[in-house]
Structure 1
Amino acid sequence: MVGAWFARTFKALEYRDYRVLWIGTSLAFLAFMMSSVVQAVVAFDLTGRNGAVGFVSLGMGLATFLVSPFGGVVADRFPKRRMLFAGQTIIGLNFAAVGLLIIFDLITIPLLALSTLVMGAVFSFIGPARQAWIGELLPPKDLPNGIALQQVGMTLTRVIGPFIAAGLIGLSFVGTGGTYLFMAGLFVFVIGSLAMLPPSRAVARGGRSFREDMALGMRHIRERKRLMLAVVTFIGVIMAGFSYFVVLPGFLENELGRSSKDMALLMAAGAASGFVVSLAVAGAAGSRHAWMLMVAGGVVLGLSLILLAAAPNFGVAMLAMLAIGSGTGAFQVLNNAIVMREAEPAYHGRVMSLTMLAWGVNGLVAYPFGALADRIGERETLGVMAAGVLAIIGAAWAASVPLRPGAPAIEIDAETLPRPAGGD
C-alpha cells in the first residue's frame, strides 16, 4: 500500500527533464518565500506600520495584475527556456541590488516597493512559462501530478524559507542585507539548472495577432464552465484570505506582545503543515475527488483565520497557523491541478497567467488590508478576511453542483495543439 501511494504521489518525478525543472523551480521559490519574510521585516522596521508592509507588496501586486495576461500570451508563443533564462537573471540581480542598498543604509520604502514591482512584472512572464513548459515535459496523464508536485515543492520552500530567512536575519554579520544577497546567489543555481534542459518549443501563431491570441484564451476559459469557476474561485480566495501575512508583524507586536521577527516562526509552522497536506493530496490531483477536497481546503482556511483572530497567546496562534497551512496547501495544489486538467494544452500559458491575476489582486488588496488593520485592529481585519474566504468558497460550491465536477477525459482539439515553431 505504501509503495503504491509513493509511486502515485511522485509519478512525475520519474521524468528526468521534469525533475531538473522541479529542482530549479523549488530553489527559485525558496528565494521568493524568504523574500516575503525579509521584506516585511525591513518595511515594518523602517516605519513601524502595517500599511508600509502592505505598500511594499503593492508593487508586486500592481505589476502582476497589469502584466500577467500579456505574460500568458508570450508564454504560449515563445520558447519557455529562453524566457526563464532572462527573467530569473533579472530577479537575481534585483535581489542583489536591494541587498546592497540595505547594507549601505540607502533602502527606503519606495525603493523596496520598486523592487517588488520589478519582481512582479518579471514573474508575470516566467510563471506562466514555467507552468506551460510542464505541459511539454509530461504526458497528459501525468500532468495533474506534475502540477501538484510543483506546488508541493513550493510548499516545502515555505517551510524552509522562513527558517533560513529568520536565521540569517538574526546573524549580526548577515542581517537583512546579507539575506537578500543570499537569495540572489540561489538564482545562480536556478539558471544553471536551465542549462541542463533541452530547448523548449514555440507554438505556431497561425497568423493571429497578440490581441487575438489573448481573446482566444479568454474565450477558452468562458466556454469551459468548470475551468472558469476554478479560476474565479482561486482569484477570490487568494484575494480574501492570503493577505494575512500583512498584519502578522503588527498582530505579534500589538496583540501578543512578541517581536515582529517571530513572524518567521508562524509562517514556518503554516508551511510545515501545508507541505504535509500538499503531499497527501498530490496523488488525488487528477481524481474525481479533487474539487471536493479543494473546497474543504478553503473551508479550513476560513475557519483557521477565525481561530488566529481570536488567539489569546502565541501558542494558540501557532496552532491556528498550522491549520491555515493545511487549508492553503490543499486548496492551492488541487485548484492548480484542476485548472491545468480542464484547459487544453495550447492554452496553458494564457490560462495560468489569469490564475496569476490572483496574486496581483492579492498584492493590490494587501495595502488596504494593512491600512484597515491600522484603523480597526489586526484581530478584526483577520475576521474580515475569514468571512470573505468562507463566502467565496460557499458560492463556489453552490455554483459547482449543476456542473457535476469530476475528472473527465480532456477533449483536445487537434487544431489547437502546440506545434514546433523553432526552439531556443
Structure 2
Amino acid sequence: MFSSLHNRNYRLFAAGQMVSNTGTWMQRLAQDWLVLKLTGSAMALGITTGLQFLPMLLFGLWGGAVADRYGKRRLLIATQAAMGLLAAILAVLDLAGVVDVWHVWLLALGLGFATAIDNPTRQTFVVEMVGRRDLPNAISLNSANFQLARITGPAVAGLLIAAIGTGWVFAVNALSYIAVILGLLAMRARDLTPTAPVKREPGQLREALRYVRARPDLLAVFALVGFVGTFGFNFAVTLGGFANQVFHAGPGAFGLLNTVFALGSLGGALLAARRGRSRMGMLIGAAFAFGALSMVAAVMPGYWSFALALVPIGIAGITFNTAANSTVQLSVDAALRGRVMGLYMLVFMGGTPLGGPLVGWIAETYGPRVALLFGGLVSASTAVAVGMILARRTGKRLRLRVRPHPAVHVVERTPTPRPDPVAA
C-alpha cells in the first residue's frame, strides 16, 4: 500500500503536499467565509469559484505544453512560490482591513492561472520521482494525501477563523507552500528520471489533440472523465441541499456529510494504492458503480442512511479518479505527457464551471434528490455507452463477475463457429 514511500524523493514530495494541501483546504473555507461576510451573496461566492477554475478551462492545454518545455522540479518551485505569494497578499489585505471582494476575485483568478500550469506539471512529475512501476501507487497515495487534508483542513480553519480571523488563515496557507518548496529543493537530482524538455515549436498543442484523437483508448478515458467530472462530482452543490432542504439539518450535519464522503474517498485511495496497474475494465466498472451508487443514495429516506451511502460513493469515485489518471500517464509518450495531462485536467476540472451551475439549477428547481439522481444517471450511462463502443471497436466484450468479489473484465470475444460447407 505504501511502496512509493520507499523512495526518498517521493517522501519529501508527499510530506510537503500534506502540509500544503491542508493549507489549501483551510484557505478554501476561509475564502468562502470572507466573500460571504463581504457581500452576503451566494452569487458572489459562485463567481469566486468560477474565476478560480476558468483559467484551467481556457489555458489547461497550454499549461501542459509549458510542463513539457521546462524542467518540472524547477517549474513546480516557481508555481508554488506564486501560489504562496497570492495567499500572502490576501492575508495582508485582510489583516489590514482593506480587503474588498474584487481583491478576492482578482487573486482567485491569479491562483487559477498558476494552477493551470502547476496541475499538469505536478501530475507528470510523479513518474520522474517513482518510475512507471510505482506510478499507480504514488497517484493513489497522492489522492489519500488530498483526502486526509480535506478532512483536517476545514476543521482547523473553522477553529482558527473563530479564534483569530480569516486573515491569519490565509497567512498560514502562505507559509504552507514553503514546505513544498523546501521538499523540492532537498530532492536528490541523481535519483530523478527527468523527461527531456521539448523545444518550443509551432503546432505543439494541435499535436497533442491529434495524438489523443488517434487513440480510441484515450478518447474513452477522456469521455468518462468529462461526463463523470462535469455532472457526477458536484457534491459541493448537492450535499448542502440534502442537509438543508431534505433533512432540515444544521451546519454541523452538513459538515458531517462532507467528512463521511471524504473518509470514503480516503479509504478508496488507500485500497487503490494496493492494486497494480489499472485497466480499462476497472475504470468503466468504477464509473458505473459511482453512478449507480449515487442514484441509490438519492432515494435514501433518512439522514443516517444517506450518510452511510456516501462511503461507497467516495470509494468508487476515488477508484475511478486514480484509475483514469494512471491509465493516461502510463499509456502516453513521455514527450507528450505534459500536454496530454493538461488536456486531461482541462476535461476533468474545466467542466466544473459548466456542470456546477446546471446541477445547482436542477437542485433548486426540482430538489437535491433529482440533482443527485441526474448526476448518477449520466455517470452510469456514460460508462455503459463507452463500454459498448469499445467492445464494438476492439472486438472485445465486458464480463461482470460477482463472486468472489464484484469485478468487470475485458475479454476477447469468442467467435461463433460456422458449419463447414464441405462437411455439410
TM-score by length of 1: 0.82
Q: Could you tell me how far apart the structure 2 residues matched to 1:50 and 1:320 are?
A: 28
Question: Out of 225, 234, 237, which is 1:246 matched to?
Answer: 237
After the TM superposition, which of the residue ranges 129-138 and 92-101 deviates more from structure 2? 92-101
Q: Could you tell me how far apart the structure 2 residues matched to 1:184 and 1:204 are?
A: 30
Distance 1:258 1:168, change over 3 A: farther
Q: Secondary structure at the match of 2:380?
A: helix
Write out per-residue CA displacement over residues 165-207 of structure 1, whole angstroms, 9 at most, x where no aligned residue.
34434xx22344433332222112122211112457573435x
Q: Could you tell me how far apart the structure 1 residues matched to 2:349 and 2:277 are?
A: 24
Distance 1:392 1:350, change over 3 A: same
1:212 and 2:203 aligned:
yes
Q: How does 1:151-170 map to 2 (within 5 A)?
A: 151-169=143-161
Matched letter for residue 377 of structure 1: G
Distance 1:55 1:243, change over 3 A: farther
Q: How does 1:368-383 map to 2 (within 5 A)?
A: 368-383=358-373
Q: Could you tell me how far apart the structure 2 residues matched to 1:390 and 1:232 are?
A: 12
Alignment match, 1:315:
304
1:341 and 2:334 aligned:
no
Q: Could you tell me how far apart the structure 2 residues matched to 1:315 and 1:179 are?
A: 32
Indicate the structure (1 or 2) with the bigger Cα radius of gyration: 2
After the TM superposition, which of the residue ranges 52-61 and 355-364 deviates more from structure 2? 52-61
Q: CA deviation at 1:282?
A: 2.0
Contact between 2:13 and 2:184, CA under 8 Å: does it hold in 1? yes
Matched letter for residue 305 of structure 2: V
After the TM superposition, which of the residue ranges 379-388 and 69-78 deviates more from structure 2? 379-388
Alignment match, 1:235:
226
Contact between 2:198 and 2:335, CA under 8 Å: does it hold in 1? no
After the TM superposition, which of the residue ranges 119-128 and 396-405 deviates more from structure 2? 396-405
Question: Out of 259, 276, 286, which is 1:268 matched to?
Answer: 259
Alignment match, 2:116:
124
Distance 1:232 1:18, change over 3 A: same
Q: CA deviation at 1:136?
A: 1.9
Distance 1:62 1:267, change over 3 A: same
Q: CA deviation at 1:102?
A: 4.7
Contact between 1:38 and 1:165, CA under 8 Å: does it hold in 2? yes
Q: How does 1:1-400 map to 2 (within 5 A)?
A: 9-43=1-35, 51-103=43-95, 109-169=101-161, 172-198=162-188, 203-205=196-198, 209=201, 211-260=202-251, 262-287=253-278, 290-357=279-346, 358-400=348-390
Distance 1:92 1:205, change over 3 A: closer
Write out per-residue CA displacement over residues 36-73 of structure 1, whole angstroms, 9 at most, x where no aligned residue.
44444555566666544433221122111111101101
Contact between 1:51 and 1:371, CA under 8 Å: does it hold in 2? no
Matched letter for residue 141 of structure 2: L
Distance 1:269 1:259, change over 3 A: same
Could you tell me the percent identity over the aligned residues? Answer: 26
Distance 1:44 1:381, change over 3 A: farther
Greater relative contact order structure (CA < 8 Å, 6+ sep) = 1
Q: Secondary structure at the match of 1:173?
A: helix
Count how many residue pairs are aligned between Structure 1 and Structure 2. Answer: 393
Contact between 2:229 and 2:349, CA under 8 Å: does it hold in 1? yes
Distance 1:341 1:204, change over 3 A: closer
Distance 1:25 1:57, change over 3 A: same
Q: CA deviation at 1:131?
A: 1.8
CA RMSD of aligned residues (A): 2.9
Q: Secondary structure at the match of 2:245?
A: helix
Q: Secondary structure at the match of 1:245?
A: helix
List runs of 5+ in structure 1 lacking aligned partners: 1-8, 408-424
Contact between 2:291 and 2:377, CA under 8 Å: does it hold in 1? yes
Distance 1:270 1:34, change over 3 A: farther
Distance 1:48 1:377, change over 3 A: farther
Matched letter for residue 341 of structure 1: L
TM-score by length of 2: 0.82
Q: CA deviation at 1:331?
A: 0.8
Contact between 1:87 and 1:122, CA under 8 Å: does it hold in 2? yes
After the TM superposition, which of the residue ranges 90-99 and 267-276 deviates more from structure 2? 90-99
Q: CA deviation at 1:277?
A: 1.6
